[in-house]
Structure 1
Amino acid sequence: MRKFLKYTGYSILTFVALILVYLSCAWVLSRLTVSAEKNAARQVTIYIKSSSVHTDILLPVKSNLKDWSKSILYKHTRTADTAFNYIAFGWGDKGFYLETPTWNDLKASTAFKAAFWLGSSAVHTTYYKTPKEGKNCVKLVISAEQYQRLISFIEKSMQLNNAGAPIAISYAKPYGNNDAFYEAKGRYSLFHTCNTWANNALKACGQKACWWTPFSTGIRYQYGQK
């Protein structure tokens, strides 16, 4: 019995220590800044939209470089409304996206699979009118070349069919009237979360970012959000 209690105690202490190391690394590395590229032209307006748990990147629906409505089809949304200027992209665990519309719906099995690379991923897209800057929405103006890199990053995150188009998840229940889900590449984990993906997207287009962050608070810190 003593050995059992001893090993149980060691296991609990090890688990707690690992959590503390993880949280400490997340805090420190999210406060270290990857600087934005200097002297870039100001040509394309994008936005960073974040909450306390998640980060989306908002892009213009149509530009000289990309018309997202030709691949992220309006008909995949409930209303098929075409009167939108921006589209948000977020990457994450497919189980979380499809099975957990609210935190009350979260299952231990879903969280476990997501944390340890056991699930697949999805891209969540949402059409918006003109976004409004505020506490949860930061405006960035980047160069056309930087935007092209961002387009490439997002496209490489999505699975494509034989025709080269993103694969809509037809059975997914949308959160609202103007959003849809698509099959994505990669696996979610404790070390590569939805916010890590968004942070990597900012790095890809030469914008200020964290060295690494699993939490939205890291990105919010870098852009002065509270």
Structure 2
Amino acid sequence: MNKRFLRYAARVTVVFLSFIAFYFLAAFILSRITVNGKPVPSNDVSIYIISNGIHTDIAVPATHMLKDWTKEIKYNHTVHADSTYNYLAFGWGDEKFYLETPEFSDLKLSTGLRAITGLSTSAMHTSYYHTPVEDQHCKKIIISKKQYQQLINYITASFLTDEKGQFINIGSEIHYDDTDAFYKAKGSYSIFKTCNTWANSALKSCDQKACLWTIFDTPILNKYQ
């Protein structure tokens, strides 16, 4: 019985390790394949790709003729944001992970395992900026009004809404800093759909350079070096 169990355990281990190896190999290869490699030049709307080294946000004008985000991402949902903040960044992710892990030092094994199962709920983290500063972790791109409308549609469709069609604020007491707020979102985080997968798809939605598929932030930024 013990030998049979050991053989079974060894096979399961081999299958698991093979899956992990294939997963990361696929992530490596697919992230290096570029889609929309030659976007149409435009001078209409400036947006930003922002990474904190792990997680990618997409920042757009807080107010614009096509969309006034402040009507839904209200200043009073933050601690101190106001009309002097010109940009609003969006980042999608696992709700429990967002709310229970403001710093990676706060990460619990149970939170991480629950996030990758694809069984938990998701949230949208929004952050106001005066104007993002371009550097190695922040890239500015300029898109057309048509492309921006496509991006607006993608971001809007990622939010859960109440019976009145309004975004659902998770709680006025939940913040990472003075200019952010959390909202209920659609979908579930998993090993196949991460925060960076969402941001990469946001770029695809408005016909900008993106990875065929990625779970990491660096391949996205590398498209704009």
Matches of 1:65 and 1:147, distance apart in 2: 8
Residue in structure 1 matched with residue 158 of structure 2 by the alignment: 157
Residue in structure 1 matched with residue 124 of structure 2 by the alignment: 123
Amino acid at match of 1:169: I
By how many angstroms is 1:196 displaced? Answer: 0.4
CA RMSD of aligned residues (A): 1.3
Equivalent positions of 1:170-185 (< 5 A) are 170=171, 173-185=174-186
Q: Would the aligned equivalents of 2:116 and 2:191 in 1 still touch at CA under 8 Å?
A: yes
Deviations 1:170-196 (A, max 9, x none): 166200000000000011100001000
State whether structure 2 residue 67 is matched by structure 1 residue 66.
yes
Q: Would the aligned equivalents of 1:43 and 1:141 in 2 still touch at CA under 8 Å?
A: yes
Q: Would the aligned equivalents of 1:31 and 1:221 in 2 still touch at CA under 8 Å?
A: no
Matches of 2:25 and 2:173, distance apart in 1: 36
Q: Secondary structure at the match of 2:115?
A: helix
Q: Secondary structure at the match of 2:128?
A: strand
Q: Would the aligned equivalents of 1:209 and 1:222 in 2 still touch at CA under 8 Å?
A: yes
Matches of 1:191 and 1:39, distance apart in 2: 29
Q: Would the aligned equivalents of 2:139 and 2:221 in 1 still touch at CA under 8 Å?
A: no
Matches of 2:50 and 2:39, distance apart in 1: 23
Deviations 1:24-72 (A, max 9, x none): 0000000000024543432000000013211000001111111111110
Q: Secondary structure at the match of 2:119?
A: coil
Residue in structure 2 matched with residue 113 of structure 1 by the alignment: 114
State whether structure 2 residue 208 is matched by structure 1 residue 207.
yes
Deviations 1:76-102 (A, max 9, x none): 001243320000000000011001111
Q: Secondary structure at the match of 2:9?
A: helix
Segments of structure 2 that go 5 or more residues without pairing to the other structure are none
Matches of 2:211 and 2:151, distance apart in 1: 17
Q: Would the aligned equivalents of 1:36 and 1:206 in 2 still touch at CA under 8 Å?
A: no
Q: Would the aligned equivalents of 2:53 and 2:137 in 1 still touch at CA under 8 Å?
A: no
Identical aligned residues as a percent: 49
Amino acid at match of 2:32: R
Equivalent positions of 1:1-226 (< 5 A) are 1-36=2-37, 38-170=39-171, 173-224=174-225
Q: Would the aligned equivalents of 2:77 and 2:172 in 1 still touch at CA under 8 Å?
A: no
Kindly tell me: are residues 150 and 183 of structure 1, through their superposed partners in 2, closer, same or farther at Cα, counting changes over 3 Å?
same
Kindly tell me: are residues 207 and 38 of structure 1, through their superposed partners in 2, closer, same or farther at Cα, counting changes over 3 Å?
closer
Q: Secondary structure at the match of 1:147?
A: helix
Matches of 2:213 and 2:146, distance apart in 1: 24
Matches of 2:44 and 2:212, distance apart in 1: 26
Larger CA deviation: 33-42 vs 193-202: 33-42
Q: Secondary structure at the match of 1:45?
A: strand
TM-score normalised by structure 2 residue count = 0.96
Segments of structure 1 that go 5 or more residues without pairing to the other structure are none
By how many angstroms is 1:162 displaced? Answer: 2.0
By how many angstroms is 1:11 displaced? Answer: 1.4
Q: Would the aligned equivalents of 2:58 and 2:91 in 1 still touch at CA under 8 Å?
A: yes
